[in-house]
A and B are shown apart, each in its own frame.
Chain A
């Protein structure tokens, strides 16, 4: 028997909270089952379609584009399935989905009105939906006779709209009574003369996956299993053609119709192949190329003054390329975004490879000067690149939305949207999802999910993936964890492991915006949906999908460093009564470089991480190029490739360098023989093999993608042959090729580094010359950067800035600068639990007259009683009581006696330290000394503000720590090699970056009174003491100093003990630190 069957009703993981498999898995399985076509019909979305199309390539499976459309008639909710039978059908589907999704009252449960569906029937084929939840079957099977009678009318309307392209779908979910239901539906179809189409509504790949499907449905509805619409079946899988033929043996015509539909629709839609340039706004009669030329030349004159030959030549080359590719409108829109920012006074800079372009520089999109910085246009764009260009703009994070919204408003006529993301479930997230579905309480869910390894990503790559539950449960962090009871939690462990990595939910890309074209509105290219922000549409495709279908996106990022620097600049300008522009500060400032060389870089953009601090001390930057190199070098790739040490040694003239071929001398001179930048790959290919820069870029791109050994061999032969023609010896050329190949995967674009380096320099300059304003800006832009607000404030104190106590009459919204730039005062928004309305009312009321008492404040403002108590505990109201800090107890008593206010939808402000609190161990920081000395006013203040306002938490224990032989962090750096030393500190972060050797190494960063100390822990030590790092906030560390002439300082930890234990022992009469190690070993 010939079994020609293709599935027409398939839900992938993009049917959020319903489907379980990725499009790729579906296609692979369909190919394995010998099917010639496969439709994906996700719920109210086409999000899976670009991936379906890519996955089908070379598999023999033709993609069918479709969607399941949710509808409601006469109180019955159901779906119909629409399949595109042409490109026009795809456009109809996009428009239809956009139309009803953007108008939906509940964006999570959109309903397509019948007239909207009927309006968009062109090019589409309609199936009535599966049994029993399809719209027509639901109505037919309804016990309400008026509803079942309505089915006939609905069928007539759909028949009118779709004509011969309307089919009655029959499916058998193999639940009790399914055949009876199917017979009723089929009889109805016969009555009205509707052809049948046999399907199996697919929600998962294999029968066993029904459990995952049930879990996802329950989770999506925030309920325990069974979720709504639960069916006790496992037959919603991608069944084989043979099984479908068995199931529908009594209805061969339905199988024939299904095959005919598949034949018609398969491969009828093509989305790839060309770039769809957005439509720029132009004056009548004006062309985009002409406008771009005029703006570029105008910008060039502003930037360069008189244009020399080199500039003109480069401009000519770039403009001709951009015009040839038809990309001018894209540049014009980017320029318009920058113009809007300037009009509104919003700081803006560029980033990414676009800084290689002199056109982008002249348009004001990017800052580094391309010629002087040896930036190559071909790394950004050239005639052989088939994909869309990519310009990234950084705006002040606080006002980015203003600019974006204005730009989107201007382009509403062609359609605009932000870009979607598709998130996958982490193991920790999967535990939460399964635990909820299994009916655990919220508290149990928190306990079960805590310490489960979270996902660490470097761009699209997951670092240190967990291979199995065995590995996860053996992690020190999971010592004593409830999930260790594997018998009890066997189902949770099994299901969560299977859910890990599966598609979970749609999100919004942090920056991407897309636009419609001259020919078509955006909603005819891609389907749109609400993003969750009122009035902000989001396309259903993610950035990779957009690249596939050729829709360029403009990245409009919100950068908190811009926000911080802008505020700092404003404060300085106000204090000095002269304009200080943070984006054009005096270059080559010696004091700034001197500070960077000390490694005290907290707050500096891109230079503040512990690794960068160490690199700054080793590299000793003296000029802008060093900062560019520093930003490029401290990346996972160069660290793994061991580029950092040779570069540092050669930069400081402690090592000679050589290049494999004399042809490379010019290319590698600026980086001392080390290949640091991607642009150098292009130059090296030109110098050795005579490649054009465009060919060099294609070579670089080929090397960074996994193309298989065969493809790489071809590229190598081409390179060697052309090198030979230039007289380069084969051995040398081969060596260079290997070198480039090894480097290409981890190189960094110089243009991007140079753009970031400009901001890094600005931040370093501001910290050097205006530290109070700088730290004020950083603390008010939280959450941002690498460090918690607590550590940033402690750093401010360490550089000599006084920290003033909170005061209800003097504190501002955020931190404020006081005492002529020598002091910082804590802001109101750091008081936990305040709403924006309450905060505004405080600021407004105190302008009228000062507050007289706690009750007065409560009466005159929108402050809730809980927030009022927090204000008392944080010390904001000390001035309202004659006893100051000692009056807090009395004020708290008074506050508790005040009547409660209705909250009326006032949302608490997100505390600036929230992101840090959620990190493991940190929630205990405020209780650190409470465990030793009992809860005090200072501890309460720390708990509310999450800041060390009055002093560092370790200050009260200074003498005890000294008696324990603890060396302050700042003194450790200068200790001789091999010194055994103890340190104590509070955890700031625990990192496990990729290492050169590939061996796992942990770097706990701890902070004491004097500063930060990055410690190093190898596998064995981590295995013994790692649980302490995850369960305690502060530690006593014992270890050895290493001073490597090549790699500098490191502190190798050998033993760890919770600090509270060490302090308790040291202060008790019997306590002796000599027993600490022994005790810690026992604990481990």
Chain B
């Protein structure tokens, strides 16, 4: 989406008639966020026509899940030569959902089960939240957006 710096500067930072609270609350912050999200010049990585760009890129990487005795599961990244981590243990499944969007399009159709999980971190870094997709062939994919 094309937008000039001037366009961005002209966009008001608060919604019309917004009363600034003395202390910001969750509601007031979300009202501002909603307002900013409505800006015509704002685009999200998920809406990008390409899978990567100058400011963000989407990950869609085949991974393996290894199960160990005792029940714990690890994500193993094998397909990428350089990456920040190779193996992470799944600590918790936060969310699980189905995604069958664009089933009517031969090119874009999706049919998968998604899991949002917390993976363990290195001692120096905290854990991370990642999405894993399981498609009909039983293949796992690491999906996510990095802005």
CB within 8 Å of B: which A171-214 residues: 174-180, 210-211, 214
Contacts of A651 in B (CB 8 A): none
Stretch of A232-240, A347-355, A719-727, A998-1006 with 4 or more beta carbons under 8 angstroms from chain B: A232-240
| Bound Cα distance from A233 to B112, whole angstroms | 10
Tell me if A232 and B27 are in contact (CB < 8 A): no
* Interchain CB contact under 8 A, A210 and B114: no
Q: Looking at chain A, what size class is its interface with the partner chain?
A: 20 to 34
Q: Is the CB of B104 within 8 A of A176?
A: no
Taking a contact as CB atoms under 8 Å apart, the answer to whether A232 and B98 are in contact is yes
Contact yes or no, A176 B27, CB < 8 A = no
Task: Tell whether, in the assembled complex, residue A234 and residue B34 are in contact, meaning their CB atoms are under 8 Å apart.
Answer: no
Chain B residues positioned under 8 Å from A211 (CB to CB): 103-104
- Chain B CB count within 10 A is highest, among A145, A177, A437, A438, for A145
Instruction: For residue A177, give the distance in angstroms from its CB to the closest CB of chain B.
Output: 7
B78 beta carbon closer than 8 Å to chain A: no
- Check: B31 CB closer than 8 A to any chain A CB: yes
Contact call A180/B95, Cβ cutoff below 8 A:
yes
Are A145 and B31 in touch, CB under 8 angstroms? yes
**In angstroms, how far is the closest chain B Cβ from the Cβ of A646?**
57
A235 touches B95 (CB 8 A): no
The docked-state distance in angstroms from the alpha carbon of A1074 to that of B57 is 73
Task: List the A residue with the shortest CB-CB distance to B116.
Answer: A176
Q: How many A-B contacts are there with CB distance less than 8 Å?
A: 42
- A705 at interface, CB cutoff 8 A: no
Q: Is B86 an interface residue (CB 8 A)?
A: no
Interface hits, B68-125 → A, CB 8 Å: 95-101, 103-104, 110, 114
B67 to A: closest C-beta gap in Å: 20
Are the CB atoms of B34 and A225 closer together than 8 Å?
A: no
Q: How far is the CA of A177 from the CA of B103 in the complex (A)?
A: 21
**B13 CB-CB contact with A under 8 Å:** no
> What are the residues of chain B within 8 A of A437 when measuring CB–CB?
104
Of chain B, the residue at the smallest CB distance from A434 is B104
Which chain B residue shows the least CB distance to A438?
Answer: B104
Q: In this assembly, does B40 line the interface, its C-beta being within 8 Å of a C-beta of chain A? A: no
Q: How far is the CA of A143 from the CA of B30 in the complex (A)?
A: 8
CA distance A1033 to B116 in the complex (A): 63
- Residues 146-192 of A at the B interface (beta carbon under 8 Å): 174-180
Contact across chains for A233 and B98 when beta carbons are under 8 A apart? yes
Q: How far is the CB of B121 from chain A (nearest CB, A)?
A: 23
Nearest-Cβ distance from residue B109 to partner chain A, whole angstroms: 10
In the assembled complex, which residues on chain A have CB atoms less than 8 Å from the CB atom of B103?
211, 214
Q: Among B27, B30, B34, B98, point to the contact of A174 (Cβ < 8 A).
A: B98
Contact between chains at B99 and A232 (CB < 8 Å): yes
B43: shortest Cβ distance to chain A, in Å? Answer: 19
Q: How far is the CA of A232 from the CA of B110 in the complex (A)?
A: 9
**Contacts known (A174-B96, A176-B95, A176-B114); A232 close to B101, Cβ less than 8 A:** yes
Q: Does A491 contact B (CB under 8 A)?
A: yes
Q: Looking at the complex, which one of A145, A234, A438 makes contact with B100 (CB distance below 8 Å)?
A: A234
- Given A225-B104, A491-B104, also A175-B95 (CB < 8 A): no
B30 with A176: CB separation less than 8 A: no
Instruction: Please give, as numbers and ranges, the residues of chain B lying within 8 Å of A235 by CB-CB distance.
Output: 98
The residues in A between 208 and 236 inclusive whose CB is less than 8 angstroms from any CB of B are: 210-211, 214, 225-226, 232-235
Enumerate chain A residues within 8 angstroms of B110, measured Cβ to Cβ.
232
CB neighbours (8 Å) of B100 from chain A are: 210, 232-234
**A145: B residues at CB distance < 8 A:** 27, 31
A790 to chain B, nearest CB (A): 43
Q: What residue of chain A has the Cβ atom nearest to residue B114's Cβ?
A: A176
Are A176 and B34 within 8 A (Cβ)? no
B27 near A179 (CB under 8 angstroms)? no
CA distance A180 to B97 in the complex (A): 11
Give Cα A226–Cα B108 distance, bound, in whole angstroms.
13
| Closest CB in chain B relative to A848 CB, distance in Å | 60
**Do residues B31 and A174 form an inter-chain contact, with CB atoms below 8 A?**
no
In the complex, what residues of B have CB within 8 A of residue A180's CB? 95
Which B residues are CB-close (under 8 A) to A438? 104
Produce 1/0 per residue, B4-31, CB < 8 A to A.
0000000000000000000000010011
Residues of B within 8 A of A214 (CB): 103-104
Task: Judge whether B97 and A174 touch: CB under 8 Å.
Answer: yes
Provide the A600-625 mask, 1 if CB < 8 A to any CB of B, else 0.
Answer: 00000000000000000000000000
Distance in angstroms from B124 CB to nearest chain A CB is 30
Beta-carbon nearest neighbor of A215 in chain B:
B104
Q: Which residues of B contact A233 (CB under 8 A)?
A: 97-100
Q: A438 CA to B106 CA in the complex, in Å?
A: 12
Contact partners of A210 in chain B: CB under 8 A: 100
A225 — nearest CB in chain B belongs to which residue?
B104
Contact with A along B111-142 (1 / 0, CB 8 A): 00010000000000000000000000000000
Q: Which residues of A contact B34 (CB under 8 A)?
A: 143
Q: Closest approach, in angstroms, between the C-beta of A237 and any C-beta of chain B?
A: 11
Residues of chain B contacted by A176 (CB below 8 angstroms) = 95, 97, 99, 114
Query: Does B98 lie within 8 Å of A234, measured CB to CB?
Result: yes
Contact A179 to B98, CB < 8 A, known contacts A143-B30, A145-B27 = no
CB distance from B28 to the nearest CB of A (A): 9
What is the CA–CA distance of A180 and B95 in the complex, to the nearest angstrom? 8
Q: Are B104 and A178 in contact (CB under 8 A)?
A: no
Given A225-B104, A438-B104, is A178 in contact with B31 using a C-beta cutoff of 8 Å? no
Interface residues of A in 223-272 (CB under 8 A from B): 225-226, 232-235
B12 to chain A, nearest CB (A): 18
Of B31, B99, B100, B101, the most chain A CB neighbours within 10 A belong to: B100
A175, B116: Cα distance in complex, Å = 12
Q: 8 A-B contacts, Cβ less than 8 Å apart?
A: A143-B30, A176-B97, A178-B95, A179-B95, A232-B110, A233-B99, A233-B100, A438-B104
Give 18 new A-B contacts, CB below 8 A, not counting A211-B103, A232-B110: A143-B30, A145-B31, A174-B96, A174-B97, A174-B98, A176-B95, A176-B99, A176-B114, A177-B95, A178-B95, A179-B95, A210-B100, A214-B104, A233-B100, A234-B98, A234-B100, A437-B104, A491-B104
Tell me the A residues contacting B by CB distance below 8 Å. 143, 145, 174-180, 210-211, 214, 225-226, 232-235, 437-438, 491
